Every structure is written in structure tokens, then in C-alpha cells.
Structure 1
């Protein structure tokens, strides 16, 4: 099967890693798979660029698509013509720009699948497709009620995410002390609720005075969070690890006892929760997106008190998260069902 993923983003963040892992698993299953990304926006200083990563993985599509929301109309028209001339069996689009392009530039005979990565993309005005995926089971009924073929596309996990062989040694290498070691691993933006996390940790330390808080990431609210930590008198108990990626991110995540996931950004598959569980890290999470299916302890209302109650509960949930191979197989089956129903 010849599969072309469309990802109109210059960043290797948000859904991009999930798309890469899905494409790799599909390729390992014996299919011809490439990923087209935004080739227009080259200056991305704040985040990791997508082009080098997809090229390194051998997945980067070289079919000439610019695939950018910043493209002028004549370049978009060129993309339509180039896409329509392609010989592929499946076009799997991941953003609204991709979907619109694929709707009108679909190659002859190709199946069109649209992945919705956040609920805001699920709207009546979205173009038609042969099948859809959503990041969480709670979003399926809205599509199925409309008679659309749809399945959940869960978070895929890189094989690098597994428990540390010697967590104590790893913590010494990272300069971390204290127990339990609690972390938040996300961009500092309002939806991630770092302010709730800091206030919750202040309450948590009253019960667990030796606890330490590790905040991994960067973003617009980083300095405001630093000030909040200082105001709560927590500076000696909080580590700001900065933005981490690749193997470095895996090491910081493995070092934790538990992670607090208090909100989602532009990818509701809750990939960080799946990664944490793969590393043997306990997950305390709010009830958003796919987080309820991956959490050990759920936070019904995102308040400091509710976070502390969940963290102190000690609950552990037996979650059997599907393998990347299983997820890729399910997507291939979805493509086939969509082809038969056309």
C-alpha cells in the first residue's frame, strides 16, 4: 500500500511525533510511506524543525508539496496539481489545511482519511473524507452519529521509553534529590495549568515534606511560574529542567516517581501519559482527551486540592496500552474499510 501523510506544520511537536511513529510502524509492516510537511516556514527557532527529523527517519516526502498555511494562492494551486498527479493508495491528512488540499486535490482512486487531533477540529464545516480518526474515545460518538467511519488513533510510544535500569543512579547524574520525585512535562502555557500544579505541590509538601518538583519544558508562562514558586517559598524544592528533547527528555521522565498532567495542548492523544506509563512512572491526570484512559489517578476538577487528593491516593490502574504495531494494523484496517465503503 502506498501511503502519503500530510502534516502542514514545520515543527516536530504536537501531533508530528505521533505521525512519525505511525508512519514508521506502517513502513515496518511492509508499506511504502512518506510524510509531507510545511517546506515554506524554515525559521522555527522556538521549536525543533520537522524537516530534518523526518529526513533522518527516511520518511520525508520529496514530491514537491509546499504544504503551508502561509503559502500564497498560486502555491496552493500548485500543491493541488502536484497532489492530484500523485500515485498513492491513501492520503492521510492531519491538519485542516491538509484536509482541504486533499479534498480538492485527491489523487485518482486514493482513499482520504482525516485525523482530528483536538476537539476544535471537529466541526460541521470540515470537508468530507472516507474515514476519520480521533485522539480519544469520547469524541467518537459525534462522528458516528453523523454516519462517518471513525476510529481512535491512540498515542504511539517510541521504544526508547522504558523504565530506568537504575533510577537512583540516574537521579544522581541529573542532580536530583528528594522523594517522591514529582514532575510536570509540558509547555508553559495556560492550558497546562502549571499554576495549579505549583499550588498543589505546596499543599502536597505538607504531607510529603521530602518531595521534590521537577518542571520540564519552556514557554510563555515560564517566568510567571518561577515567580509563583518563589512566592510560595518552594525554590529549594523545585527544579526547572528547561526544554528537553530526544534521549535527554527520556532520561528526565524516567527519573520521576509520578507525573502530573493537568491539561492538554494541541494534541489530545495524551502522548506524555503513554510515555510516562512506558517508563513505569505513575500518572495523575485531569479528565481531558485520552488522559482518563491512561491515568492511574484521575483529577475530576483541576484544583490544587483535587490534585493532591489524587496524588496521595496511591491508586494504580492496570492499563494495557496497544503497541505501535497494533495501532498501525488498526489504521491499515481502517483504510481498507474506507476503501470498500467508497
Structure 2
């Protein structure tokens, strides 16, 4: 099968890593797979660019698609013509711009599948496709009740996310002291609720005075969070690691005892929760997106008191997350199903 993924973003963040891992698993299953991304936007001071990473993986599509929401109309028209001329069996779009192009520039005979990565994309004006995927089972009814063919596309996990063989040695190398080590691993933005997390950690330390809080990431609210930490007298107990990626990010995550996931951004597959579980790290999470399906302890209301109660509960959930190969097989079966339906 010849599969083309469309991802109108220049960043290797949000859904991009999930798309890359799905494409890799599909290629390993014997299919010809490429990923086209935004080739227009090149300035990205705070995030990892997608082009070098996808090129290194052998997945980058180099057939001339600009695929950018910043493209002028004539470049969008050029993309439509280029896409229509492609010889592929499946076009799998991931963002609204991709879906627009795929809807009107679908290659002859190709199956069109759209992945919805956040609930805001599920709306009455959603363009037609042969099938859809959603990141969490809670979103399926919104498509099925409209007669759409849909499946859940869970978070895929890179093999680097695995239990630490010598956690104490790793912590020493990272300069981490204290126990337990609790962390948050996300961009500092309002939806992630770092302010709630810091206040919760202040309460948590009343029960666990030797605990340390590890905050991985950067973003608009980083300095505000630093100020909050200082105002609560937590400076010596909180570690700000800055933005981490690749093996460095996995290493920080593997060092933790527990991760608090108190909100999601533009990817509701809750990839960080799946990564943490793969590392043997306990997950305490709010009930958003796929987080309830991956959490050891759920936070029903995102308040500091509820976070602390969930953390101290000690609950562990025996979640068996599907492998990348099985996720890819399920998506490939969806392609085959809709191709068969179209051929009738």
C-alpha cells in the first residue's frame, strides 16, 4: 500500500511524533509511507523542526508540497494540483488544512482518512472523508452518531521510553535528590494547569517533606511559574529542566516516581501518559482526552486538594497499552475496510 500522511505543521511536537511513529510502524509492516509537512515556515526558535527529524527517519515526503496554512492562494492551488497528480492508495490527513487539500485534491482512487487530534475539530462543518480516527474513546460517539466510520488512534510510544535499569544512578547524573520525585512534563501554557500543580505540590510536601518537583518544558507561563514557586518557598524543592527532547526527555521522565498530567494541549491522545507508563512511572491525571484510560489515579476536579488526594491514594491501574505494531495494524485494517467499501 502507498500511504501519504499530510501534516501541515513545521514542528516535531503535538501530533507530529505520533504521526511519525505510526508511519514507521506502517513501513515496518511492508508498506510505502511518507509524511509531508509544512515546508514554508522555517523560523521556530522554541520548538524542534519536523523536516530534519523526518528526513533522518527516511519518512520525509519530497514531492514538492508546501502544505502550509501560511501559503498564499496560488501556492495552495499548486499543492492541490500536485496532490491530485500523486499515485497513492491512501491519503491520511491530520490537520484542517491537510483535510481541505485532500478533500479537493484527492488522487484518483485513493482512500481519504482524517485523524482528529482534539475535540475542537469535531464540528458540523467537518469535511467528508472515508473514515476518521479520534484520540480517545470518549470522542467516538460524536462521529458514530452522525454515521461516520471512525476508530480510536491511541498514542504510539517510541522504544526509548522504557523502565530505567538503574534509576538511582540516573538521578545522581541528573543532579536529582529527594524522594519521591514528582514531575510535570508539558509546555507551560494555561491548559496544562502548572499553577494548580505547584499549589498541589506545596500541600503534598506537608505529607512528603523530602519530595522534589521536576518541571520539564518551557513556554509562555514559565516565568510566572518560577515566581509562584518562589512565593510559596519551594525554590529548593523544585527543578526546572527547560525544554527537553529525544533521549534527554526520556531520561528525565524515566527518573521520576510519578507524573502529574493536569491538562492537555492540541493532542488528546495523552502521549505523555503512555510514555510515562512505558517507563514504569505512575500517572496521576485529570479526566481529559485519553488520560482516564492511561491514569493510575484520576483527578476528577482539577484542584490542588484533588491532585494531592489522588497522588497519596497509591492507586495503580493495570493498563495494557497496545503496541505500535498492533495500532498500525488496526489503522491499516481501517484503510482496507474503506477501500473495499469504495470499490463496491
Q: TM-score, normalised by structure 1?
A: 1.00
Deviation track 1:157-181 (CA, whole Å, cap 9, x = no partner) reads 0001000000000000000000000
Q: Distance in 1 between matches of 2:212 and 2:338?
A: 50
Distance (Å, rounded) in 1 between the aligned partners of 2:298 and 2:242: 26
2:53 maps to which residue?
53
Cα deviation, 1:194-250, whole Å, max 9, x if unaligned, reads 000000000000000010000000000000000000000000100001100011001
1:41 is matched with 41
Report Cα offsets for 1:241-276 as digits up to 9, x if no partner.
Answer: 110001100110000000000000000000000000
Aligned residue for 1:243? 243
Shift of 1:126: 1.3
Partner of 1:25: 25
Partner of 1:184: 184
> What is residue 84 of structure 1 aligned with on the other side?
84
Following the alignment from structure 1 to structure 2, what is the Cα–Cα distance between the partners of residues 287 and 144?
22
- Residue 170 of structure 2 aligns to a residue whose secondary structure is helix
Tell me the distance in 2 between the aligned counterparts of 1:142 and 1:211: 42
1:93 CA drift (Å): 0.0
SS in structure 1 at match of 2:62? coil
Query: 2:211 and 2:78 mapped to 1: Cα distance?
Result: 57
SS of the residue 1:184 aligns to: strand
Aligned partner of 1:223 in structure 2 is 223
- Which residue does the alignment assign to 1:301? 301
Q: What's the TM-score, normalizing by structure 2?
A: 0.99
Aligned-partner Cα distance in 2 for 1:272–1:292: 13
- Residue 129 of structure 1, CA deviation: 0.0
Pair 1:259 & 2:259 matched:
yes
Residue 330 of structure 1 aligns with which residue? 330
Distance 2:307 2:63 in 1: 48
Q: CA deviation at 1:43?
A: 1.1
SS at match of 1:215: strand
Give the Cα–Cα distance (whole angstroms) in 1 for the partners of residues 281 and 338 of structure 2: 37
Q: How does 1:1-342 map to 2 (within 5 A)?
A: 1-342=1-342
Question: Secondary structure at the residue paired with 2:35?
Answer: strand
* Structure-2 separation of matches of 1:226 and 1:242: 12
SS in 2 for 1:293: helix
Residue 91 of structure 1, CA deviation: 0.1
Whole-angstrom CA distance in 2 between matches of 1:31 and 1:226: 47
Q: 1-side partners of 2:333 and 2:179: how far apart?
A: 45
Q: Deviations over 1:78-110 (max 9, x none)?
A: 000000000000000000000000000000000
Q: What are the superposed Cα offsets for residues 268-313 of structure 1, whole Å, 9 maximum, x if unpaired?
A: 0000000000000000000000000000000000000000000000
RMSD: 0.4
Q: Distance in 2 between matches of 1:242 and 1:61?
A: 31
SS of 2:143's partner is helix
By how many angstroms is 1:44 displaced? 1.1
In the alignment, structure 2 segments of 5+ residues that lack a partner are: none
Structure 1: give runs of 5+ residues left out of the alignment.
none
Stretches of 4+ aligned residues off by more than 4 angstroms: none
Deviation at 1:51, TM superposition (A): 0.5
**Matched residue SS, 1:69:** coil
